[in-house]
Each structure stands twice: as structure tokens, then as C-alpha cells.
């Protein structure tokens, strides 16, 4: 199972996230849930990097079973941080959409945000 944990500050803004595990919904290389989660999460990281310039610390494992990201500039109230926040919230909308259909393969932990339907 894939577990997604979202970290938020006191104001409810995303400061980072961690994704661990493998979905196991199909054979390696043909797992649609893993592919979807990977595409959504890496797409969001690339968008934050290219569109906002907000510094991030990103760690990933070689086997693809771990991805974590912390926004270094998340405490700043500037326009770049607001864009980064929006991109990460959009990422969570996409991950929730995956969880609605494939809930037995993905779990979202976001105490400050919305949970899957």
C-alpha cells in the first residue's frame, strides 16, 4: 500500500509531504496506481521548481518506494509560496481522486485538509 502523509504548519499551509510504499495493484512496471501516484507527485515537484522557484529539499529512494519533499520557503507569505501551495493542493486533489477509485492501494493522511470521499 502507498501511504501519503501531508505536513502542514499552524496556518494549515502545506510544508511538505512523504510518500512511502508500493501499491501492489499490478505487476511491477504495470501498476497503474503506482504510475499515477508517481506521475502526479513528480509532476507537482517539477511544477513547483519551474514555476515558483521556492527552494525544496527532495529525497527519493532508488526503488521508487519513498519520496519526500519539504518546502524551505513555505513560511514566507510571498506570491511564489502561494503558487507552490496551490500546486501542492492540486497534487492532493489528484491523489484523492486516485484514492476514491483505488482506496485499498493508497492511504492519505492529511489532518489539516480534506479526506477522500
Annotated catalytic residues are 22, 34
Q: Quote the CA–CA distance of 93 and 112 in Å, as a whole number.
A: 14
116-91-94 Cα angle (round to 5):
50
CA–CA distances in Å: residue 36 to residues 33, 41, 95, 99: 5, 8, 8, 11
Residues 22 and 37: beta-carbon distance below 8 Å: no
| Cell numbers representing residue 25 in the block | 495493484
| Cell numbers representing residue 44 in the block | 507537482
Amino acid at each position: 500500500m502507498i501511504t501519503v502523509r501531508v505536513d502542514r504548519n499552524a496556518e494549515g499551509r502545506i510544508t511538505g509531504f512523504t510518500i512511502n510504499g508500493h501499491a501492489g495493484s499490478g505487476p511491477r512496471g504495470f501498476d497503474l496506481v503506482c504510475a499515477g501516484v508517481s506521475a502526479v507527485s513528480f509532476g507537482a515537484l517539477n511544477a513547483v521548481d519551474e514555476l515558483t522557484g521556492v527552494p525544496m529539499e527532495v529525497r527519493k529512494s532508488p526503488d521508487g518506494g519513498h519520496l519526500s519533499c519539504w518546502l524551505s520557503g513555505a513560511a514566507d507569505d510571498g506570491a511564489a509560496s502561494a503558487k507552490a501551495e496551490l500546486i501542492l493542493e492540486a497534487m492532493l486533489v489528484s491523489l484523492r481522486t486516485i484514492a476514491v477509485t483505488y482506496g485499498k492501494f493508497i492511504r492519505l493522511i492529511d489532518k489539516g485538509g480534506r479526506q477522500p470521499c
